[in-house]
Amino acid sequence: MTDREIALRYGCNPHQVPARMYRDGGDLPFKVLNGSPGYINMLDALNSWQLVRELKQALDLPAAASFKHVSPAGAAVGVPLSDVLKKAYFVDDIELSDLTMAYARARGADRVSSYGDWAALSDKIDVPTAHLIRREMSNGVIAPGCDEEALAILKQKMDGKYTVIEIDPDYEPPELETREVFGVGFEQKRNDLVVTPTLFENIVTANRELPESAIRDLVVATIALKYTQSNSVCFAVDGQVIGLGAGQQSRIHCTRLAGEKADRWFLRQHPDILGLRWRKGISRPERNNAIDLCFEERLTPPERQSWEAAFRDIPPRLNSEEKHGWLATMTGISLSSDAFFPFRDSIDRASQSGVKYVVEPGNSARDQDVIAACNEYGMVMAFSGTRFFHH
């Protein structure tokens, strides 16, 4: 192997060998500090790195992403965590740097989906963040560097096989990008459009009050969409993604999926959930799965057995009235859509999950119906005029 190529364990599947990464006309912009990456690992790494780099550039805060199957399970910037979120994210017992808080938020968006994630960090990996990564179920991390002590911590993970990638923060790819599908080459201009608050200036609703916190959250949601498999809709609040509906064939299904994830994110903060008493030896992934089952209306006998086995004292399950009562207090959520809403149904669903601020490209035949729906709910909506498909 040379600096212009590396061998990969296999391609998308174990039977797809050989596999490699290479670059014509220059060295690869990264190096492997530990482990042996796979094909999907590196797709996640390079997509997630672009996301956190852009978040850092846009908001001047440390940024992190938790990637699975070439889409973010979560993304966030390093906004301080409340005591409630520290407990909900299982980080109330460790030191938290700004970078650690960004990754805790990114992983906290959807902890079940983040199981076995690829982590991306905008800044050099510090010791507190390495400690958090070490105890989560993660397959690798990409960052612009790693403290010597932090690298030693990460090398203890997965029997020494945890993958750590150091990316050159100054690397810029060519303007044109190419790919091959079924022996046919594709070429296009790279999507280098910069997401800034100017995208949210064309407000089309009666309510025009867009606070700075909502602008920040719309930036987070929109940059996350830029690296999410389309169609996609993203909910964000407090500097982090809380629900992302990715890769759906209809806009309403994107919104329903994102809304359901946002609801589960908020339900994890219910006092009854925060007060759960765990049986000794229950791992973090097992806790995540058990909490997720707390929100299901019905459990199969195997699910109930698994759920009950997690607790020291079997807790009462949240009933429908309790869940809806708690969710009714969720508000101030920002929503970004990678393409226009063809019907008002997505706005109706978004309103059920506390959405107050919306950005979408506009230019649908039913724009007026969508605007009218936002006005009914007192939402602020901006037309960005920009589509963010990613395939």
Q: Report the catalytic residues.
A: 68-69, 231, 391
Torsion of CA 147, 150, 155, 156, to 10 degrees: 160
How far, in Å, CA of 107 to CA of 359, rounded? 24
Residues 305, 290 contacting (CB under 8 angstroms): no
CA dihedral 348, 354, 357, 363 (to 10 degrees): -20
With a CB cutoff of 8 Å and minimum separation 6, the contacts of 106 are: 64, 65, 66, 72, 73, 74, 75, 76, 114, 119, 240, 241
Segment holding 187, helix H or strand E: strand 184-189
Listed in sequence order, the residues at least 6 apart from 305 whose beta carbon sits closer than 8 Å to its beta carbon are: none
CA distances from 257 to 69, 234, 260, 269, 336 (A): 17, 10, 5, 19, 14
What are the CA-CA distances from residue 315 to residues 89, 124, 264, 267, 269 (Å)? 20, 41, 18, 15, 16
Give the separation between CA 100 and CA 121, rounded to whole angstroms. Answer: 9
Helix (H, G, I), strand (E, B) or coil at 197: helix
